[in-house]
Amino acid sequence: MAHFRTSHTWRRGVVALFAAYTLLNTYFVLTPLLGAAPSWAYLLVPLLLGGFSLGHAIYLLGFRHALLFLGISSLVSLGFEGVGVATGAIYGPYHYTTHLGPRLWGVPLVVPISWFMVIYPAYILTNYLADGVVIARAGGGNLGRRMGLSALSATLMTAWDVPMDPQMVMYGHWVWHVKGDFFGIPVQNYIGWLVTTGVIYIIYRQIESRWSPRPLGDVPTGFARMPIYLYTLLAGGYVLGYVLLHQPALALTAFFAMGTPCLIAWLRAESPQA
């Protein structure tokens, strides 16, 4: 009974973080009408969105898997970002402004932690698109399958950056030193994202194939799918936000880049097999 109460309380906390981030995301979407958001509001994103992803991961995967996933995401992304800022060789030449707080090797400390915010939902969405479940099947399949799943996850993660990067540049969080072909963003940036996130997913999938995740308690269907709801929320936020900013091309880009996998997931959820 005590274990049930603990797991139930944990789930309620994760749901509360999701609700709080939903309100924050709605505020950001409406800033074209309400006025620019203060700098500190952006620092709430890793607290709420990151807190949701980590809290959900801990419940669904267990403490060991969740913390390993977070650690791999943070260390790999920090390494790639540090080299990227110093050389321009990975994402193209760019630098971060002071808007995101203290920096290490030119990278705001909040950035490596922030990668996990969507790394995890994209991982869950991949599992669901591939197998109709959110927890990867035991063993994870052969190496080829794990690499395929990692490639799909990296694509979904990069799809988030497609509408996110122009917005963050618009709000002055980082600056590109070249005029890229994609709404001012170099195409190299997205190749760098695919490589960075692909490495993260491959490492985690290898670990997962040896030690299966262990949820903290019962996993209700709605709770299990919450990262998919989150990815859908992000997609809808970018589409509506760019419409309000009178940027129809970016709104359409967000719709197709992030909305397509969401639509497939929702159609799958409505099928009798799901």
Tens of pLDDT, residue by residue over 28-59, are: 899 888 887 787 787 888 889 999 999 999 99
Over residues 161-181, the mean pLDDT reads 86
Instruction: Find all residues with CB under 8 Å of 268, minimum gap 6, and list them.
Output: 128, 129, 132, 274
Tens of pLDDT, residue by residue over 237-269, are: 999 999 999 999 999 999 999 999 999 998 876
Over residues 90-105, the mean pLDDT reads 84
Residue 139: what pLDDT? 58
Question: If you average pLDDT over each of 74-78, 136-140, 267-271, which comes out highest?
Answer: 74-78
* Share above pLDDT 90 across residues of the chain, in percent, rounded to a whole number: 56
Phi, psi of 182 (to 5 degrees): -105, 90
The structural domains of the chain, with segments of one domain joined by +, span 2-270
Nearest to 152 by CA among 212, 80, 205, 113: 205
Residue by residue, DSSP assigns 218-235 as ---HHHHTHHHHHHHHHH
Hunting for tokens 């999938």 — which residue is that?
205
Over residues 155-162, the mean pLDDT reads 95
- Contact of 106 with 96, CB cutoff 8 Å: yes
Over residues 205-209, the mean pLDDT reads 90
Residue-averaged pLDDT of the chain:
88
Instruction: Find all residues with CB under 8 Å of 136, minimum gap 6, and list them.
Output: 127, 149, 205, 208, 213
Upper half-sphere CA count for residue 105 (Cβ side, 13 Å): 14
